[in-house]
């Protein structure tokens, strides 16, 4: 499943039309569109709305998104005058300008673009000073923060199209849509390559006894499908880092749970310990 998180309808419309997506009229929280093995949600502007859209999708469709690849697509600005509007940009590093936190989408596929450092701002960035080689958007950090709780970093892609040079007071929606349509063959090719895992990077297979241990923990903690997915992600993260998660899981399967508060605390503690480098 390929999932698009897009802020504006002007950005989403070319994607919807190219993939023959249809509006899901049962979705209330966000405009949701479905196509063949694809979903698109129009989140609205800003990192908070992008994060909410990701959480909404995984809460509403956890089973369908178990093996999803997520794309945050939309416009960005740069002060580099040599970069023409309509150029595609791939983020290898995303920085939240409010918190200073960095995110690193860990795609391993050759996608044909050199990754850039994308800065995520809470308000539109406007500047008329000298160039400093910066790129700005308003959704990427929220997308990365929320998506990382449900999928591994190698399933995240932040793909942007340059809309302006930080000197445009208001975006022209018609121009933006036309730029995306013009670039659609390249966008589709990048996303198709993104969905094709390089050889040797598929999910780690569990031994029967390991799968049984995971099932025991899920039963003990009464995990929902979403929490099962998060636990699986945390275990795989530990394995990829050459750490042994199984002692923690054996311990978790013996915990006595008496109420919802204890259950939530146990789940949070387990995932935190599995993903903390010094915990195992």
pLDDT digits (tens, 9 = 90+) for 150-181: 988 889 999 999 999 998 778 899 999 999 99
Rounded-to-integer distance, Cα 173 and Cα 164, Å:
12
Residue 203 domain flag: no
Query: 153 and 63: one domain?
Result: yes
DSSP 278: T
Least Cα distance to 135 among 155, 100, 102, 165 occurs for 165
Query: 54 and 171: one domain?
Result: yes
Rounded-to-integer distance, Cα 55 and Cα 72, Å:
14
Residue 280 domain flag: no
Query: 159 and 42: one domain?
Result: yes
Q: What is the mean pLDDT of residues 63-69?
A: 87
Q: Which residues contact 20 (CB under 8 A, 6 or more apart)?
A: 35, 36
Domain that holds residue 144: 2-195
pLDDT in tens, 173-190: 999 999 999 999 999 999
- Whether 7 and 138 have beta carbons less than 8 Å apart is answered as yes
Query: 99 and 183: one domain?
Result: yes
Query: 154 and 234: one domain?
Result: no
Question: What's the mean pLDDT when you consider all of the chain?
Answer: 89
- Whether 3 and 38 have beta carbons less than 8 Å apart is answered as yes
Rank 15-19, 59-63, 125-129, 220-224 by mean pLDDT and report only the highest. 15-19
Q: Output the pLDDT for position 202.
A: 44
pLDDT in tens, 230-257: 788 788 778 767 788 999 999 999 988 8
Beta strands of 79-219 (E only): which ranges?
88-96, 102-103, 116-120, 135-137, 156-164
Query: 177 and 218: one domain?
Result: no
Using the 3D structure, point to which of 173, 195, 217 is the last residue of a domain.
195
Rounded-to-integer distance, Cα 39 and Cα 70, Å:
10
Q: How many domains does the chain have?
A: 2
**Poorest-confidence range of 61-75, 103-117, 184-198?**
103-117
Query: 218 and 188: one domain?
Result: no
Query: 151 and 271: one domain?
Result: no
Residue 107 domain flag: yes
Query: 14 and 149: one domain?
Result: yes
Residue 202 domain flag: no
Rounded-to-integer distance, Cα 12 and Cα 19, Å:
11
Residue 200 domain flag: no
Residue 19 domain flag: yes
Query: 228 and 101: one domain?
Result: no
Query: 213 and 166: one domain?
Result: no
Using the 3D structure, point to which of 195, 226, 241 is the last residue of a domain.
195
Query: 184 and 80: one domain?
Result: yes
Residue 267 domain flag: yes
Least Cα distance to 157 among 219, 125, 115 occurs for 115
Cβ burial of 239 (10 Å; 0-12, 13-18, 19+) is: middle
3-class secondary-structure state, position 154: helix
Residue 76 domain flag: yes
- The CATH number linked to 72 is 3.40.50.1580
């Amino acid at each position: 499943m390929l999932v698009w998180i897009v802020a504006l309808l002007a950005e989403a419309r070319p994607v919807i039309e190219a993939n023959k997506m249809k509006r899901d009229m049962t979705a209330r929280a966000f405009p949701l569109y479905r196509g063949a093995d694809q979903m698109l949600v129009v989140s609205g502007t800003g990192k908070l709305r992008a994060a909410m859209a990701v959480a909404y999708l995984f809460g509403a469709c956890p089973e369908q998104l178990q093996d999803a690849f997520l794309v945050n697509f939309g416009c960005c600005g740069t002060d580099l005058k040599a970069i023409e509007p309509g150029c595609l940009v791939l983020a290898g590093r995303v920085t939240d300008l409010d918190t200073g936190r960095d995110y690193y989408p860990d795609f391993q596929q050759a996608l044909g673009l050199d990754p850039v450092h994308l800065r995520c701002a809470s308000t539109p960035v406007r500047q008329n000073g000298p160039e400093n080689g910066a790129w700005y958007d308003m959704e990427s950090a929220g997308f990365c923060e929320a998506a990382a709780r449900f999928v591994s970093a190698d399933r995240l892609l932040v793909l942007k199209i340059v809309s302006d040079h930080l000197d445009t007071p208001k975006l022209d929606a018609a121009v933006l849509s036309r730029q995306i349509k013009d670039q659609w063959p390249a966008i589709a090719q990048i996303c198709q390559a993104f969905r094709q895992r390089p050889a040797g990077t598929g999910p780690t297979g569990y031994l029967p006894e390991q799968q049984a241990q995971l099932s025991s923990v899920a039963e003990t903690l009464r995990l929902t499908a979403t929490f099962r997915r998060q636990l699986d992600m945390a275990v795989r993260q530990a394995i990829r880092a050459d750490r042994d998660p199984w002692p923690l899981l054996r311990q978790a399967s013996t915990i006595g749970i008496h109420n919802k508060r204890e259950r939530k605390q146990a789940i949070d503690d387990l995932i935190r310990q599995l993903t903390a480098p010094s915990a195992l």
